[in-house]
A and B are shown apart, each in its own frame.
Chain A
């Protein structure tokens, strides 16, 4: 019996590995990916990085400009995340098992969330770019829509995890729906939600760079500009400032998380 099971497991593993190999092979052929070439690129790329991505005196002169654009990007991410969080909170309360008003609104809320989450932020930026043009609003809205989708799902999980029993207790005291939500559900899930918001701000700063390249705003646009002009010293400086910004924000939110969770 045991031996049979072991045998079955072994067979399963082999089968699984074969599938992975086939899928990988198909992927390499459809994308024209050449593993050898790819591998050879790595040392070349690293060598190139060390010889070209240098921060020079010249590039430092661009610092004020870079910082301004970086600031715009950070502000854009924070604003998009915070406002998205407000919308997501309502959607999550409508969507969660614990706090839903009725089935209809719950399905609607989940549908909106899934729709805005599963259309990549790139698609949103390109769609919005057509009529909003090259300015911060486009990037802000693209991040906002994608964040609503993501945070709603995360918030629904946080609300569902909140202790169901205190909801029951408050219902039994004659509390109204809004009493229960504001005094039993939110106090319990708020720290978790804040943690997600902080996580999303970090993610959005990185996404904002991508959105910036597409919509011509913020630090992404700066990067694209100097990249296309092959001014790699400035490119290096921009990358460096982004790294510093992301790491600082990550450290900060880890600190906050440590206290509140």
Chain B
């Protein structure tokens, strides 16, 4: 059944304006074991194209977060390969890994900002990947970088909070700071780990709209972990369903039907859909 669905995907190719749909990320037979025994990911394989908006759904504990963290090697890969722009991520040395991470932005459920610092400082943290240790420690940022930071804050509608401490902002505003921090990296790919799980519906919509714009206008690939199926269906071009560490669905969001959702989430999904 899964096989059919994977094929179904090729019937609805995603073609984006101005973005050539070449493969940016290739995950092959990826597996991850914790403590050498708990298997979190089993032979996960998929590709993501430039500018694609991809959503990973699945119940908690399915391995969504681990999958994202394998892509920028925040957790070590146990088996299989992750290729970013054709280069094997698992074989990278420390320096190459740093370079890889500058190309991949990351957005977190709890925003992961430094609470005592200003918004603008937090945004500029996204530039560390390009800095020498000394430059970074001394906090030397160029005027262009600072202006760029202001520009991004303006784009996300929070430039008036630039000098506030991050812990004075609301959740939705903090997540926008997180997006700015990712964007200032000039990434090719943005990984979003449950970006709206701690937000109210209104802020969630704002954040998802921004992420969508990022992928369509800037051509940045977005891989978004979500547990809300409805949101995934509304925004994603393509959905990957993860269950117990295995891909059980991979196809355009249009063809994700009720029985597949039930399969991904098991029995609880009925409540999930009616809500």
Chains A, B in direct contact (C-beta < 8 Å): yes
Listed in ascending order, the chain A residues whose CB lies under 8 Å from chain B are: 163, 165-166, 168-176, 178-179, 182-184, 187-188, 191
A172 touches B72 (CB 8 A): yes
A174 touches B102 (CB 8 A): yes
State which of A170, A171, A178 has its C-beta within 8 Å of the C-beta of B137. Answer: A178
* Interface 0/1 of B35-77, CB less than 8 Å to A: 0000000000000000000000000000000000000101000
CA distance A117 to B106 in the complex (A): 42
B133 touches A179 (CB 8 A): yes
B224 adjacent to chain A (CB < 8 Å): no
A173 touches B108 (CB 8 A): no
**Cβ of B270: which chain A residues have Cβ within 8 Å of it?**
none
State which of A163, A166, A171, A175 has its C-beta within 8 Å of the C-beta of B74. Answer: A171
Known A163-B114, A169-B181, A184-B114; judge A174-B98 contact (CB<8 A): yes
**Cβ of B129: which chain A residues have Cβ within 8 Å of it?**
173-175
Q: Report the minimal beta-carbon distance from A126 to chain B, rounded to whole angstroms.
A: 41
B117 adjacent to chain A (CB < 8 Å): yes
**Cβ of B205: which chain A residues have Cβ within 8 Å of it?**
none
B128 touches A175 (CB 8 A): yes
Q: Report the minimal beta-carbon distance from B136 to chain A, rounded to whole angstroms.
A: 4
Which B residues, 153 to 187, have Cβ-Cβ distances below 8 Å to chain A? 178, 181-182, 185
Q: Which residue of B lies closest to A172 (CB)?
A: B106
A-B contact pairs, 24 of them (CB 8 A): A163-B112, A166-B112, A169-B106, A169-B108, A169-B113, A169-B125, A171-B101, A172-B101, A172-B105, A173-B125, A173-B127, A173-B128, A173-B129, A173-B181, A174-B97, A174-B128, A174-B130, A175-B125, A175-B136, A176-B136, A178-B133, A183-B114, A183-B117, A191-B116
Q: Report the minimal beta-carbon distance from A90 to chain B, rounded to whole angstroms.
A: 14
B126 adjacent to chain A (CB < 8 Å): yes
B112 touches A176 (CB 8 A): no
Which B residues, 108 to 151, have Cβ-Cβ distances below 8 Å to chain A? 108, 110, 112-117, 121, 125-131, 133, 136-137, 139
Q: Report the minimal beta-carbon distance from A98 to chain B, rounded to whole angstroms.
A: 13
State which of B102, B117, B121, B139 has its C-beta within 8 Å of the C-beta of A173. Answer: B102
**Cβ of A166: which chain B residues have Cβ within 8 Å of it?**
112-115
B101 touches A173 (CB 8 A): yes
**Cβ of A172: which chain B residues have Cβ within 8 Å of it?**
72, 74, 101, 104-106, 191
Q: Which residue of A lies closest to B68 (CB)?
A: A172
Q: Which residue of B lies closest to A163 (CB)?
A: B115
**Cβ of A183: which chain B residues have Cβ within 8 Å of it?**
114, 117, 121, 125, 128, 136-137, 139
List the 5 closest pairs (A to B, CB-CB), nearest first: A174-B129, A175-B128, A174-B101, A169-B112, A179-B136
B99 adjacent to chain A (CB < 8 Å): yes
CA distance A163 to B117 in the complex (A): 13
**Cβ of A188: which chain B residues have Cβ within 8 Å of it?**
114-116
CA distance A179 to B115 in the complex (A): 16
**Cβ of A168: which chain B residues have Cβ within 8 Å of it?**
74, 108, 112
Q: Which residue of A lies closest to B139 (CB)?
A: A183
B114 touches A174 (CB 8 A): no
CA distance A232 to B105 in the complex (A): 71
CA distance A85 to B181 in the complex (A): 33
CA distance A184 to B115 in the complex (A): 9
State which of B99, B116, B117, B133 has its C-beta within 8 Å of the C-beta of A176. Answer: B133
A173 touches B126 (CB 8 A): yes
State which of A163, A170, A176, A191 has its C-beta within 8 Å of the C-beta of B125. Answer: A170
B116 touches A187 (CB 8 A): yes
Known A173-B102, A187-B116; judge A178-B136 contact (CB<8 A): yes
Q: Report the minimal beta-carbon distance from B41 to chain A, rounded to whole angstroms.
A: 19
**Inter-chain pairs besides A168-B74, A188-B114, 9 sampled, C-beta below 8 Å:** A163-B114, A169-B106, A171-B74, A171-B101, A173-B129, A174-B128, A183-B121, A184-B125, A191-B116
**Cβ of A173: which chain B residues have Cβ within 8 Å of it?**
101-102, 105-106, 125-129, 181-182, 185
